[in-house]
Amino acid sequence: MHDENCIFCKIVQGLIPSSKIYEDGSSLAFLDIAPFTKGHTIVIPKEHYMNMLDFPEKEMTAYFSAVKNVTIKIKEKLGADGINIMQNNFKAAGQVVNHLHFHVIPRWENDRAFPIRVKKLNLTKEELSEILLKINAP
């Protein structure tokens, strides 16, 4: 199923151009139009799902092997020192395109593209317990 208002569905259908680097029966990968680093790639299922929460489990194996194949290809062909794999769900977490996608981002030592280490919270034992109780509540 495609969503007629979705930019990634349009890419799948060939209605708008993309720089494809990988394709199989159910997944597609293309270069990000506004990359964090040279080789930053978007991997999508060809079907339209908004994000991880509505992605059917039966599709996961095929999709995750596409993500892995792309990761290997980018690491080897571009000689990356490392790879970040990122995935955003909902606006509050930075999702802009509402079609499930993973970002595969090649990194090089000292590329300074974006910081890996971000400011961490320093929570008390009580605060950790409160969170644990909420998450594990029936």
C-alpha 120: how far from its chain's center? 22
DSSP string for 9-53: HHHHTTSS---EEEE-SSEEEEE-SS-SSTT-EEEEESS---SGG
Using the minimum distance from each CB to ligand 5GP, give the nearer residue, 92 or 121: 92
State the binding partner of 97 from Zn ion, ligand 5GP, none, CB within 5 to 8 A by kind. ligand 5GP
Shortest distance in whole angstroms from residue 125 CB to ligand 5GP: 34
Using the minimum distance from each CB to Zn ion, give the nearer residue, 6 or 31: 6
103 assigned to active site: no
Shortest distance in whole angstroms from residue 35 CB to ligand 5GP: 7
Q: Give the DSSP H or E segment for 42.
A: strand 41-45
- Catalytic positions are 101
